[in-house]
């Protein structure tokens, strides 16, 4: 069964439910024109699922929308053993080894490291100044946290939960090299004379080096994922591994590297919006398997996932805001045939 999920923004106030408008919107989004009998039956199935979903999620507002900017908020009714969503937060490790939690500080200068000022602004940090020393900072996000920063060259980086980036306070030499674990989204300031490169580190070794050529891209390199995925949004990147050199990606393509870097595949026509949804405060699942979805949920809600009787062989399609409680996600998964229970900080997936 396909799910019908809704987008949202943190801090918004839930609207008053107009049942007629909700139902009308369902019909408008799902209604077929002149279709075959089988397609009409499929439509009625989707419509029924949508109606059941709205009725089943009492206390939660879900609207169907295909317009990117129409993202009505969610209002949830807390349930027993509910888990709140993750939020902005990170740990900054200075060149001296000192650790700072920037999200607990107010806006303004956090600290000076090697004559470079580190500035906190909202949910991110920037760097001002210059040092002749070769020193590094590291930003790490635990489970249930994400963060963003701007490097000294102006390059912007978003870190997903359970990720890290290590970077110099000044890019000396002929290249700008950073190292990441987990998942990161980059908007690189291009400089042909000093290329920007990302060293991808995984538990099983090198996940490759990514070089920008005027680029926006996303890297997913979690240790619990079976492969490393680099997805190009804009521009061009060059990827090199121990076995394969200088693979060029075009926008909408994804390089998939096995853990031991022995095999690299190029996938085309990738759903870029689904890949980068985390940065925009959304879950978007595009025919994803249960295990892949549960790994995302585990990182964002800081919970552990256990399976009873094996992993359900289902594919889920839909989207939901990341600023909603875990109970809302559990309800939708249930409607898709994935049955779970929550016990403290554990999700039990049942057959």
Rounded Cα distance, 303 and 143, in Å? 8
Task: For residues 97 and 119, state if they share a domain.
Answer: yes
CATH number at residue 29: 3.55.50.30
Q: 62 lies in a domain?
A: yes
Residues lower than pLDDT 70 in the chain = 1-80, 204-207, 259-262
For the chain, counts of helices (H) and of strands (E): 5, 24
Domain-terminating residue out of 273, 293, 310: 273
Do the bridges between strand 346-350 and strand 304-307 make them parallel or antiparallel, or are there none, so unpaired?
Answer: parallel
Q: 10 lies in a domain?
A: no
Q: What is the pLDDT of residue 207?
A: 67
Helix (H) / strand (E) element for 329: namely helix 326-335
Task: For residues 209 and 240, state if they share a domain.
Answer: yes
Task: For residues 172 and 297, state if they share a domain.
Answer: no
Rounded Cα distance, 244 and 250, in Å? 17
Task: For residues 41 and 60, state if they share a domain.
Answer: yes
Neighbours of 37 (CB within 10 A): 7
Q: What is the pLDDT of residue 22?
A: 39
Number of domains in the chain: 2
Task: For residues 181 and 293, state if they share a domain.
Answer: no
Task: For residues 269 and 167, state if they share a domain.
Answer: yes
CATH number at residue 229: 2.60.120.1440
Do the bridges between strand 145-150 and strand 87-88 make them parallel or antiparallel, or are there none, so unpaired?
Answer: parallel
Neighbours of 263 (CB within 10 A): 13
Q: Cβ(72)–Cβ(61) under 8 Å?
A: yes
Task: For residues 163 and 240, state if they share a domain.
Answer: yes
Q: What is the pLDDT of residue 5?
A: 42
Q: Cα torsion at 104, 108, 113, 117 (round to 10°)? A: 160
Q: Cβ(182)–Cβ(295) under 8 Å?
A: no
Rounded Cα distance, 45 and 39, in Å? 10
Q: Cβ(261)–Cβ(205) under 8 Å?
A: yes
Task: For residues 126 and 197, state if they share a domain.
Answer: yes
Q: 210 lies in a domain?
A: yes
Rounded Cα distance, 248 and 210, in Å? 10
Q: 249 lies in a domain?
A: yes
Q: 1 lies in a domain?
A: no
Q: 267 lies in a domain?
A: yes
Closest CA to 307 of 290, 321, 324: 290
| φ, ψ (nearest 5 deg) of residue 293 | -65, -45
| Exposure string for 223-246, b = 16+ CB within 10 A, e = fewer | eeeebbbbbbbebbbbbbbeeeee
Q: What is the pLDDT of residue 30?
A: 44
Task: For residues 118 and 236, state if they share a domain.
Answer: yes
Rounded Cα distance, 234 and 208, in Å? 20
Task: For residues 114 and 195, state if they share a domain.
Answer: yes
Do the bridges between strand 227-234 and strand 254-258 make them parallel or antiparallel, or are there none, so unpaired?
Answer: antiparallel
Task: For residues 149 and 97, state if they share a domain.
Answer: yes
Rounded Cα distance, 50 and 46, in Å? 6
Q: Within its chain, how far is the Cα of 100 from the centroid? A: 24
Q: Cβ(100)–Cβ(111) under 8 Å?
A: yes
Domain-terminating residue out of 273, 289, 307: 273
Closest CA to 307 of 347, 267, 342, 251: 347
Neighbours of 11 (CB within 10 A): 7
Task: For residues 243 and 107, state if they share a domain.
Answer: yes
Rounded Cα distance, 77 and 346, in Å? 20
Q: Which structural domain range is residue 346 located in?
A: 19-75+281-350
Q: 67 lies in a domain?
A: yes
Q: What is the DSSP string of 29-47?
A: HH--SS--HHHHHHHHHHH
Domain-terminating residue out of 247, 273, 299: 273
């Amino acid at each position: 069964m396909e799910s019908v999920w809704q987008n949202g923004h943190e801090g918004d106030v839930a609207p008053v439910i107009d049942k007629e408008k909700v139902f009308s919107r369902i019909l408008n989004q799902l209604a077929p024109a002149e279709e075959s009998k089988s397609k009409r039956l499929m439509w009625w199935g989707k419509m029924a699922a949508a109606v059941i979903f709205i009725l089943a999620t009492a206390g939660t507002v879900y609207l169907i929308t295909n317009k990117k900017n129409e993202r009505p908020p969610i209002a949830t009714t807390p349930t027993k053993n509910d888990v709140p969503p993750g939020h902005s937060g990170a740990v900054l490790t200075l060149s001296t080894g000192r650790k700072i939690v920037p999200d607990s500080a107010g806006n303004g200068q956090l600290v000076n490291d090697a004559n470079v000022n580190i500035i906190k602004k909202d949910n991110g940090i920037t760097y001002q100044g210059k040092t002749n020393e070769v020193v590094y900072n590291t930003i790490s996000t635990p489970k249930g946290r994400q963060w963003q920063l701007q490097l000294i060259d102006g390059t912007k980086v978003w870190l997903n939960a359970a990720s890290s980036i290590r970077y110099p306070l000044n890019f000396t030499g002929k290249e700008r090299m950073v190292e990441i674990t987990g998942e990161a989204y980059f908007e690189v300031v291009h400089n042909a004379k000093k290329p920007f490169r990302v060293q991808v580190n995984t538990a099983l070794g090198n996940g490759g080096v990514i070089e920008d050529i005027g680029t926006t891209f996303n890297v997913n390199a979690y240790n619990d994922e079976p492969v490393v995925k680099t997805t190009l949004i804009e521009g061009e990147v060059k990827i090199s591994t121990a076995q394969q050199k200088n693979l060029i990606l075009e926008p909408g393509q994804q390089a998939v590297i096995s853990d031991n870097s022995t095999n690299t595949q190029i996938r085309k026509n990738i759903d870029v919006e689904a890949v980068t949804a985390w940065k925009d405060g959304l879950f978007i699942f595009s025919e994803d398997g249960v295990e892949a979805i549960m790994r995302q949920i585990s990182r964002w809600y800081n919970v552990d996932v256990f399976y009873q009787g094996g992993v359900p062989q289902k594919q889920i399609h839909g989207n939901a805001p990341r600023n909603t409680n875990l109970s809302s996600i559990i309800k939708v998964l249930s409607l898709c045939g994935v049955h779970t229970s929550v016990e403290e900080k554990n999700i039990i997936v049942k057959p």
